[in-house]
Structure 1
Amino acid sequence: MSPAPILALALAFGYLLGSVPWGLVLTRAAGLGDIRQIGSGNIGATNVLRTGHKGLAAATMLLDLLKGVAALLIAAGLWGEPAGLAAGFGAMLGHAFPVWLGFKGGKGVATGGGVLLAAAWWLGLAVLLVWLVVVAITRISSAAAVAACLAAPVVAALAGRWDLALFAAGIAALVLWRHRGNIARLRAGTEPRIGQKG
């Protein structure tokens, strides 16, 4: 099979893995109803936390991260590194725009972190560290997400991995686009802190 069909197959494979809405699945299984009717309406871990169930929020974050890891590593193992990167980006697209939910999904922070961790462990850990530091200081999930996104291509470039820097920039662009409403609220000083409603 030539490279283009392989990359397309990897992208589709990643999309299917990424499109599993774990936040919605877990909250429904726990009898909490539709997470899209709670708080911000998002299916990610931050909104799951607004249900008051920290364990479910942690499980959502872990599973969203793991689907990014799995998409990249499985595709890379089957078809090579370029296919792995395609599958990783596909997982991001699947998480953000799942066909099962009318293309209205999550914002991609945990899934993107998983993709970067699988692409290069040191890059994933650096981004996670930035996220942890910013969230500890601000208690605002979106601020930490924005900072981590902006850091990812910079860290890769400083390491001399321009291929990963370009890939991380693509991941960051998607996450920042999904956070455009949050960014507007951050600028206005109205973005809620972790655990708050909204």
Structure 2
Amino acid sequence: MYIIVGLGNPGKQYAHTRHNVGFDTIDVLAERYGISVDAKKHKALYGKGIVEGNRVVLAKPQTFMNLSGESVRELIDFYKIDETEELIVIYDDISLEPGQLRLRAKGSAGGHNGIKNIIAHLGGQAFKRVKVGVGEKPKGYDLADYVLSRFSKAEREKVDVSLERAADAVVKILTDNMEAAMNEYNKKVEG
């Protein structure tokens, strides 16, 4: 079984902001595979289903970004999975342009507070990640304000494509392996 967690903030005011691309990717997967992500438990909205023959839990932590680890820890403990093999976390990355993806099998938080909190709750950095580019913070902007902002129309078009690609990358991890997914999706997308 795999637990696929998309990071974001709950509430309508945060819907479709830069920080919520993880939630948006979970929505893409849920729609594609007919999984309802509406059960409430483990400090998350979640749903169980099958993706290409693999049992999955799709989850959107409801703790707010900076406490995402609380929900992830509860999910791992409840489903008794090996987080190094069966956990995939999808989240925003300001060091990548809108439309770009970066997959990693492990690594530091890179300044992302949601990932910092997950690492703190798991006690390690070895879990699979799908990072979705949201663009670099413009000079003079406050980081919190920036990641909670919405995309421009041109950025949104690129991001919508990258959400589909992020969902494809998750499927590739499930059906092939992390290395194959990294080889395919870590390439820079032109445009």
TM-score by length of 2: 0.30
Greater C-alpha radius of gyration = 1
Higher helix share: 1
TM-score by length of 1: 0.29
